[in-house]
Structures are given as C-alpha cells and as structure tokens.
Structure 1
Amino acid sequence: MDLKLMNYKTISTWLAIVALLITFSCKQATDLKAFTEANYSLQGIENLQLNGINVTDKRTPFDFKTAEGDSLLNAFTTNKLNATTTLFLHVEMPEPEVTRIMQVTNLEWQLLVDGHETLMGTVQKPLDLKNGLNKLPLSSTVTLAEVEGLQNYEGFSTLTTLIAKGRDVRNRLTFRIKPTIKTPVGNVTLPDYITVGQPAGS
C-alpha cells in the first residue's frame, strides 16, 4: 500500500474520531447544563426502611417495638444507620422534547429543618435520570449533620417532635441533592446543591 495513502487514511480516521468525541462531548455538556437548570420535585416515597425496619407507617415512638427503637437509636448515635426506599423524583427539563439521560454515579443529599442542616447521606449506586418521572430505588447512609464539630441533635429533635405531634412538616423541610455525573472525560460533581421542591398543590 502506498505510504502516503496509508497516512492519509490514518489521519482521516483520527480526525473522524476526534470530531465524534467533540460532538459527543458537546452533547454531554449541553445535557449537563440542562440537568443543572431543571426543576426537581419529590412526588413520593415508598417502603422507607431504616436498617431493615419499615418506618413508612410509623407516626410516634410508640409505634416501634422496644428492640427496634433501641437498635435504631444505637445505629443513629454511632453513624451506622442506612436507609433504603423507592423515591419518585420528577425532573422538568428546559427542553422536554429533547431526549436526555444522565447517569448519576454518586448522590449527596441533605435534609434541612427550618433552614438548618439536620440529616445527610450519600447514595453510591449509579442512577439514571431522565426528563419526567423517575422511579429510583435507593440505598443511602444516614448521618446527623454537624454544627461546629458537634452532631445537630437539636434539629433532629425538632423533626421528631413535629412528626410525633402528627403535623404536616413539609413546609418546614428542605431536601437538597448534589449529584456526580458520568461524562466521557470523567465524573463531574455539581458545585452546588439543587433544592428539590414539592409537587404543585402540596
């Protein structure tokens, strides 16, 4: 084969690969921007379990068996608490007609009570997000947020007191997420937390 012809084909192949990577990277950048600017709303939670104990229907401390309460309290104070649940998260994209799928490799979350960080955790199992309703089976660590190096028991106490009184606490809670997104050049963590809103009419 002619050396010049071979070099031309090699160069053409590399140029085609580079052009494909640039196009793919541009789409990833556009998708990342769209997911960053999207509106997120929590539609519901099903089968919430803490260390294997179903707490979905628990409303007061008296709903727990003594052994369950002791086990959860010990796990909580030693930062060995893990939650599993199915989260229904609605994603409203700026351009809903464009198909976009984003793989989240790591998801940090925070629960704020009256504006104060109270609970936090990390989901490490990959998740796929798309426009519209996402049904997400999650497993996450659960820890108390810290204030000046000390665990924020005050915020947690406020949360449990409100729940024990049977009050609607949604207007006093803020749920925030910070996803790490998979891209062709590596994982990218969003610089700021995204606030997850409540469904309209909640």
Structure 2
Amino acid sequence: MHVIINYLDDMLFFIGIAFPLIVIWRLLRWKKRGFQLKETLHELGILVFFSVLVGLFSQTIIPNTDDVPAYTTGVNLELFRVVEETYNSIVYLGFWQPFYINFLGNIILFMPIGFLLPLLFRRMEFFIFPVFVGLCISLFIEIMQIPQSRSSDVDDLWLNTLGAFLGYVCYYFIRRAFPSFTAAFKRVKKSKFMKRENG
C-alpha cells in the first residue's frame, strides 16, 4: 500500500508544479477567444485533463533516480505475460504488489483519459476515438521507457487501452443518465454566441 501512496505523492508533487502554468495557459487562451461563462466547466475539465496527463507522465516518462526493483526492468514482448506473473505472485508468493501496480494501476491510470476526452470534446464521443488516443499515449510512454531503467511491456498497451475503454464506458452511462450534465462540459460553438449577440 505504501508503494501506491508514494506514487500518488509523486504525482501530486508534479501536478502542483505544473498546475499554475496550465492555469495561466488556459486563461490566456480563454481571454483570446473571449470569456464565456458557459465554458467555465469546459475549462475546469481541461485543467483536470492536463493535470492527469502531467501526473501520468511524471510516473512513466521522467527518469526514475530511485533504485528500480529487478522485476520492473527490461522489455517484454510476450503478450499476456503480466497475467501469468501476477497470478503466480499472488498464489505462490502471496505478493499482491504486481496486481495493484502492474495490473490495476495500468488500467486505472488511463480511465480518466477515456472519460475526460468524450466529456470535453464532441468529436471524441464515439468510443473508438478516446480508446485510440489512450493506445497512442500508452505506446508513446512505452517507447520513451525503453532507454530508461523501467519496464517497457506490451501488456501495458492493452491494459492502458482497456483503462481508456472503461473510462469511456463510465462516461457513456453518465451521459445516458445525466445528458444535460455532460453537455455542460462541452465547448459552446462560437456561432451560437454570435447568434445570441445578434439576436
């Protein structure tokens, strides 16, 4: 459990550093487009999305200076090996950390991507788009990890993509139950503002 807490502490540290810069960037863009109160939730969602990306990249791309356990290093191209290793660790060693970190962690970290993209952008509302973006981000991370003392694992690709898909599923059911709530996070088209101003 302490490993998960350490991950969260590290993520919050990097998010805390990057958050003011993200806020300034979004305020400048918002000012350029013209402040619209109806876009407040959209902008808050954008802040959360980029904070999630910062937290994710801080734990996957930034070089790790700490001692890395031997089981986390190397490149694995054997599909579904993580399932076997996680099973063996739990059943024969009573060791749950690979399940929490390598299995659940890889899924949960990408759920916000699958959830926030369709929540914030109309063009992402078809499930294939946020899932594909999740896959691309995961592939980018795995490639960046190859020269580092981290594991680069083909299983991370499908686990991350599964996480993005499950995030989209959460969005889908929330949209079905509360359509006006999810619609409030979308950016209002400029033409609508112009029509209201002219009208």
Higher relative contact order (CA 8 A, sep 6+): 2
The verdict on a shared fold, with TM-score over 0.5 as the criterion, is no
Q: TM-score with structure 2 length normalisation?
A: 0.24
Give 1 or 2 for the bigger CA radius of gyration: 1
